[in-house]
Each structure stands twice: as C-alpha cells, then as structure tokens.
Amino acid sequence: MILKLFSLSSLVIFFTSQGISQPQLNIQPNSVDFDDLFNRIEYTYLINDGDALLTIDSISYNDSFYSLSFEDNQQLPFTIQTNDSVRMTVALIGFFFITSSDTLDTIYVHNNGEQSPEDLRIKIDFFEDDFGLITGTVSDSLTPLDSTFIYFFYSGIYLMDTAMTDASGNYQISLPEGEYTIAAERTGYHVIFHDSTFDPFFAEVIELDEDDVLTIDFNLKRITDFTKSVSGIVHDSTNGAVLDKGIIIVRRGTHVPEPHPKGDGIQLATINAFAGFIKPDGTYNVYVEDAAFYFVQAQTNYFLPGYYNDEGIASVYWQNADSVLINSIITDKEIFLLNDSSYGNGSIGGSIIFSTLSDGINYEGITLLARNINNNALYSYNFGKQDANYNIRNIPFGTYEIVAQKIGFENAFSKIVTINPSNNQFTGIDIIFLINDVETDLQLPDDLILYQNYPNPFNPSTMISFSLPESMNVKVKVFNLLGEKVAEIINDFLPVGSYKFKFDAEALSTGVYLVTIETPSVIRSQKIMLLK
C-alpha cells in the first residue's frame, strides 16, 4: 500500500513539473557575417518563444570589437514578453584590432530561459596581420621618467592601445600597421603629444608599416601651478553611462569675438590648449597655466567630439557650448557625447583655407565633421593639422558635406560629394573660412568696455560681456533701481582680454536693472530689462 502511494505521488509531481510555464530565447538570425569595412552594422532579434516572461540578464562579448545596442534604448537587464522580440544592433567597431585568429567569434546571451547562454555566431571576412614596433624614451630634460603612460590613437581618434615606461623611462609596443598619433602622460606633468605639442590637433601623424621599428621620444614639462584646473565626468548622452577612455582638450576662447593683442601681436609663449585623458571611472582633470576662459571638449572612441555646456546637453558645435573661466580649481563640469555612426570605409580630404592671408597662419583648434545632407546626421570626424590639411575616414555610403568648426569663427562648408561603391575616396575637397575684415582687424580697446547684454529683454538669463585693456581686479554687480545689490557676477583678478558671463535672474521680478563693472580706475554701467 505504501509503494502504491509513493508511485502515485511521483506521477503527480512529474506531470506538475511538465506544466510549469517557461520562457525560451530564440536568436534570429543566429549568425552575423561582416563582409567588408563598408558593412560593419548587422541586426538580429531576441525572440521569446516561451510562455513566460523572458529576462535578458547580461551578454558576454569582446567590447573592444563590438558595440551592442537595443531598440528603444533598452539597457541590460530587460524583459521580453511572450511572442515578442527586441532588435539588437551589433556594430563591428574595433575593425582595426581584427587579426586572422579573430575572424570567428561568439557572443553569448545570458537569460532565464530553457537554455542559457544562447550563442550568436560571428564571422568577419577581413583582418589585419601586419604589425610594426614603436619604441622610445620619456624624460624630464635629461632625467628618464618611469611609470609614464603612452597612448596610441589609430587614425588620430581611436584609442588603440597603451604602454608604460620602465624604470629607465623606456617603452615598447607592437601595433597593427596604420596611422597613429601618440601622447605621453605622467602625474605632475602636462600631457604632451608627438611632436612636442600640448595640442592633440597638431600632433604629428606617424605612419607605421609592416615590420617597421620606429623610435618616438618624449620630453615632458612639469606642471608648475596646481591652482588652476578643470575636472568633471564624461557621459554617453543617450543613457547617461560614464565613458571610460578618451581625450579632454581645454582650449582658450569665449563666445565674444577675440581681439588681437595690441603692439607686437600674439605672444608665442602663450599656450592656448592643454590636454588630459578620461580615466576608467569617466573622470578627467586638466591643469592650465593662465587664468582665462576655455572651452572644454571631449573625444572618445565611437562618439562624436563634444563640448561642455551649462545645460548638460550634448554639444558637438562650439556655438552651443559654454566657455569656463579657469582661475581656480573648477569642478563638476560634466560633458555629454553623441554616438558616432561611422561604420563605413569612405574618406574625404583636402585643404583648409582662410579668405584673408593674415589669418591663414592660425590653423589650431579646427574640428571637421562629415554631415549627411539627406538626414542631417554627423557620421565621422577628424581635426585640421598644422599643414592646413585634413582627412576624414570611416564614412558610410551617402551624400556628404564637410563642416569645419573653429572657435570664434562661423562654420565653413565644403562642396557636396557622394560616397558610393565605385567612388569612395575623395581628395582635394577644400574648405574656406570666410573672414569678416572688421573682426580680423579688431584690436583690444584702450579703455574698459561693457557691452550691451544679449538677449535684451531677457527671461530668465542673459549674457554679460566686457573687454579689458589690461589685467586688473574686476567687480561686476547687478542692482535694482532702488540701488540695492541683487547679484554679484564676479569679483576677481582677470587677465587682459574679452569675457562673457551668464546672469540668471530666475529669482528676480520683471523690471529694469543696472549692471555695473568696477575696476580700480573706472566704473561702467548698462541698463538691462528682465521681462517675465
């Protein structure tokens, strides 16, 4: 009798387990084939063929090779209803890493279904097996520097690899053949790019061929003033995630037209740009030598370069950015970047030209972007070089114009070209910056100038701008018509130049206010109107 009861219980338990609802992941197609450099984006669907809620927990893959994203910008982990699906985009981003041993790969999707992980097979029909060697020494004048990081940027924009100097200040690394810019970073020193420049835009491009052995040395400059710096975190603008690598460029400039210094012209000893690197936790910190206004720009793999702005939105163009007065330790300057969809193999290159000869010597700080004229999307970028040339690569098929950006100048545009299978490499596509003669000949004023605010009337914020003929202590305050101080915009020592400050009157009521600027020798004032 006991045996019969046991058998019946076992039978009931067996049928009950068979009736449990269960999710089931089906990946279709279950394989992806990247044919060539113009076809580096593929799509697959994660389908729930079960009868219970499916959870995609995580995905195991080589993030140096691939970028994964999901429709509706879903973030892992996420769920999929029964008989529903989510499209997954697989982009081959690290194409320059691929060797013959990497052409077959697998992406594993971990889930709560009947089988976990499910696999997605990858096949890559091209690879790079030709390598060269780069060696060198890093020193501080004559003293070798150990523990110095060396950064290698493929095509000048993709962080390919890093090396570190040994106790003798030496480094060595094997890299795939290609064009590189190289930088050195050590705590207590300014970042230097080859060839002895602080400005990554002007870094000399190194051509590495198969079996080459190149020697690239660095002589670093100590940071002598640790009282002026800017720091913050760099984010993906789509989901707010921190970005764990890349370059920060801190470049002198404001939205107010920059006058040329009086007398003998620009002082060549002035350094207009400083650089630093984004750390694995997304943070950055860059020291500058002179108190001034600077634009803070970030660039990293597979994102468009972007500037800091006060609103915390992605700003590819400098006109939408906000300059930062770096005269002390400035913190919390968050930068948000847009994804770069440069998954092609086309290229556009040419020369950068200024319409007046006197400006033709100033090629620093020029960012160039490929804009698709059909959808207005930006697909790739690079930077102008000191020899006044540029070359943008990895552009998909489509019709484009090149947009050139230089702080303080109106955007310049190239003629329109179409990249297609029969014609995908363009040269001689020149870009001309048109210079306004009045602005070109602008000199610093002989006296203090307080400009009219813009916009005016305003609600709730406006920009207060002024120019200083020499370095001096400056106080800028806002008063109501009763003579009561309602705001102090700045009270500091400022170097010669032009300045712009944002005045936020959110807490004030509609009315006319008086902005005053006071120096040891003069006071200027200007009426402004808040209209809510």
- Give the E-state strand segments of 186-282 in sequence order: 192-193, 206-208, 213-215, 218-219, 229-236, 247-252, 273-277
Length of the chain as a residue count? 532
CB 395 within 8 A of CB 346: yes
Strand runs labelled E in 407-460: 412-413, 417-419, 425-426, 431-433, 449-450
pLDDT score, position 376 = 86
Question: What is the rounded CA–CA span in Å between residue 46 and residue 498?
Answer: 56
CATH superfamily of 25-124: Immunoglobulins (2.60.40.10)
What span, in angstroms and rounded, lies between the C-alpha atoms of 38 and 421? 9
Give the Cα separation of 331 and 88 in Å (integer): 37
* Contact assessment for residue 107 and residue 63, using Cβ atoms and an 8 Å cutoff: no
Give the CATH number of domain 346-439. Answer: 2.60.40.10
Are 24 and 46 in contact by the 8 Å Cβ rule? The answer is no
Specify the amino acid at residue 216.
I
State the pLDDT at residue 259. 43
Burial 12-49 (b: 16+ CB within 10 A, else e): eeeeeeeeeeebbbbbeeeebebeebbbbbbebebbbe
User: Is it true that 25-124 and 449-530 share their CATH fold?
Assistant: yes
Half-sphere exposure of 410 (CA within 13 A, CB side): 9
Per-residue pLDDT of the chain (532 residues; tens, 9 = 90+): 343 444 434 444 444 445 578 999 999 999 999 988 888 889 999 999 999 999 999 999 998 899 899 998 899 999 999 999 999 999 998 887 788 888 899 999 999 998 999 999 999 988 878 899 999 999 998 899 999 999 999 988 889 899 999 999 999 999 999 999 999 999 999 999 998 889 998 888 999 999 999 999 999 999 999 999 999 999 999 889 999 999 999 999 876 544 433 333 333 345 789 999 999 999 999 999 999 999 999 999 889 999 999 989 999 999 889 999 999 999 999 999 998 877 888 999 999 887 664 544 467 789 999 999 988 888 888 888 777 889 998 899 999 999 999 888 888 999 999 999 999 999 999 998 875 433 433 445 567 888 888 788 888 888 888 888 888 889 999 998 888 899 998 888 887 777 778 888 999 999 999 999 999 888 888 889 898 8
pLDDT given for residue 11 in this prediction: 43
Q: From the centroid of its chain, how far is CA 290?
A: 24
Q: Is 333:308 a contact under the CB 8 Å cutoff?
A: yes
Indicate the domain borders of the chain: 25-124, 131-219, 229-337, 346-439, 449-530
Q: Could you name the CATH architecture of 131-219? A: Sandwich (2.60)
Q: Which CATH superfamily is domain 449-530 in?
A: Macroglobulin (MG2) domain (2.60.40.1930)
Whether 357 and 316 have beta carbons less than 8 Å apart is answered as no
Q: Which CATH number fits domain 229-337: 2.60.40.1120, 3.40.50.720, 3.40.50.300, 3.10.580.10?
A: 2.60.40.1120
Burial degree of 223 (CB within 10 A; 0-12, 13-18, 19+):
middle
